[in-house]
Structure 1
Amino acid sequence: MQNFFEWFNNFFTNPTTHTIILIVMIIFSALFLGLILRRREKMETQQIAEIGLALALATILSEVKISGFWAQGGSVTAASMIPIMLIAFRYGGKTGLMVGVIHGLIQLIIGPYVVHPIQLLLDYPVAFGMVGLCGFFQKNKVLGITVGLLGRFLMHFISGIIYFAQYTPEGWNPVYYTFIYNISYILPEIIISIVVFKLAGERIIEILQTESVRK
């Protein structure tokens, strides 16, 4: 097991790996841009308004947080991912991915922690874009919430191994440390998001769908 983690750490600190990740990010960005251009004309006024409101609420909720324990970024928020997830459940995973990426860019603007261009992509647009994956799990929304936030965790995890390994405490394996560091705030986010969704999120979706039918 120790050899595996050493290989894992060496793989992600290899310059060749950085190049591969950059290429993947470029491809991802191109596909995302194509998705936006394809969907732009299909969006209705109500959908645009709901997306704008969701982004505003997500941004406000992201500022209600516990963050002092994570020196290199990360926080437990007041269910700030719920507005993004509601859009994803309401309009599907593709729209969820798009809105998640936009939210990631907003987070980059209001609270950047950047040490490298690829790290910027991984920790902001790509990581938050992963939250939109929940929209592909319409029949099991709790599973969708879990998958979306674990996708975000994975991006932070990879970024941490590559760009923040130097902050690993003496005697710790960088992979172990990065895993614990990131899961320590993502796991509470998963729990909070599921609880809030079950308490209010499902009802909000029902209300919005009812209003859409009436119109």
Structure 2
Amino acid sequence: MYRSEFYVFDQDKPVPVIIRNYTQDDFDELIQIQSECFPPPFSSELWWNKEQLSNHVMRFPEGAICIEVDGILAGSLTGLCVDFDPNHMEHTWEEITDHGYIKNHNPSGDTLYIVDISVRPRFRKFGLGKLIMQAMYHVVIQKKLVRLLGGGRMPGYHKVADTLTPQQYLNKVIKGDLKDPVITFLLRCGRVQIGIVENYLEDEESCNYAALMEWKNPFNRT
């Protein structure tokens, strides 16, 4: 099981942080975090429910991690293992995550797929998203997987969709000509794009597109 203790800084003040696996005791707080990260007009039906969270900690506890800041639960990241063929990239979030229930988790899969990452808005100044993403890289290495993978929303795309294709938009973000709240964050986390998938989510801001972004295990030689 995963546990890491260290500090982040609030200006010059060290603040204690713990990254660990989440458990049933955290469920109410994890749902509250979802409500803060996805307020109206997002539907509460999109937040985690306790059956989904129970599946996460039962089926793949290594892929269910959270981060505390000075004793307060501040965010979480959830994943599952799948077999991924780079030659057949098309999928939806619902298909690959079993609608967030991860009943399709494959212990023999070669890829750790990110289901969700959420950080409470008031804690985002600490860079916690990057820290828990890096913690999941440790899981990829420990389990000797090929990669970490996930579909990144492109919430800035709708602003330029009439002049740029999704790939052109992604290329401009990668070059630094444009910034995207999600894709730029993933680039800062060390992820690289391997392609675009359409109809990934019902996501008006991204025009239903997502960028598949991977991090390859540097110790894997296959």
Q: TM-score, normalised by structure 1?
A: 0.29
Structure (1 or 2) with the greater helix fraction: 1
Structure (1 or 2) with the greater strand fraction: 2
Report 1 or 2 for greater relative contact order, CA contacts < 8 Å, sequence distance ≥ 6: 1
Q: TM-score, normalised by structure 2?
A: 0.28
Between structure 1 and structure 2, the one with the greater Rg is 1
